[in-house]
């Protein structure tokens, strides 16, 4: 008694060993059920509004690559960019935002001398979930004379293009 069967595949007759085919099929089914590492991450491609509450605070253009690790390559509207690797299910980056803190201008005394004012760099840690497009930012440090008013904030990315 034979454990094999003939089948036509791609115009050629192939002899298939049924017990081995069943094992291969069940193994292949298990492999097919578990997605590849890159397939676990929703595609984050395109132009997104960076929303702090109901107000757009900038525009991000995102391109994600997943070879071998998933990394979001982001270009921000003021012409700055960064790369954020996927770490524990969210994109994560620590970076310096050149004009990230704006201080008000204060006038001191009767002589009209001023203190503060202007834009200053800030080091931030940002993260976002590629499935929900919701994230957060920790403001870590800045030489701004007015300090950092809110050390933590949240944001949402809304696709606009």
- Using a 10 angstrom Cβ sphere, with 0-12 exposed, 13-18 middle and 19 or more buried, the burial of residue 21 is middle
- Using a 10 angstrom Cβ sphere, with 0-12 exposed, 13-18 middle and 19 or more buried, the burial of residue 104 is exposed
**Locate tokens 């050390």: which residue?**
151
pLDDT at 134: 98
Kind of pairing between the strands at 134-141 and 12-17: unpaired
How far does CA 141 lie from the centroid of its chain? Answer: 22
Domain ranges of the chain: 4-34, 38-159
**Cα–Cα dist 90/94, whole Å:** 13
pLDDT at 1 over 70: no
15-29, 62-76, 135-149: least confident range: 15-29
List pLDDT tens digits, range 77-102. 767 899 999 999 999 999 999 888 88
């Amino acid at each position: 008694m034979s454990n094999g069967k003939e089948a036509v595949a791609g115009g050629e007759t192939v002899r298939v060993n049924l017990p081995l085919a069943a094992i291969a099929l069940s193994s292949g089914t298990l492999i097919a059920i578990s997605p590849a590492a890159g397939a676990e991450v929703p595609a984050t491609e395109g132009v997104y509004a960076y929303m702090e509450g109901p107000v757009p605070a900038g525009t991000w253009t995102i391109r994600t690559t997943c070879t071998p690790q998933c990394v979001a390559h982001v270009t921000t509207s003021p012409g700055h960019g960064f790369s954020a690797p996927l770490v524990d299910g969210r994109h994560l980056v620590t970076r310096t935002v050149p004009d990230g803190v704006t201080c008000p201008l204060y006038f001191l005394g009767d002589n009209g001398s001023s203190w503060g004012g202007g834009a200053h760099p800030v080091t931030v840690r940002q993260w976002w979930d590629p499935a929900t497009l919701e994230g957060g930012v920790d403001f870590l440090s800045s030489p701004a004379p007015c300090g950092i008013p809110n050390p933590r904030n949240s944001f949402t990315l809304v696709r606009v293009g």
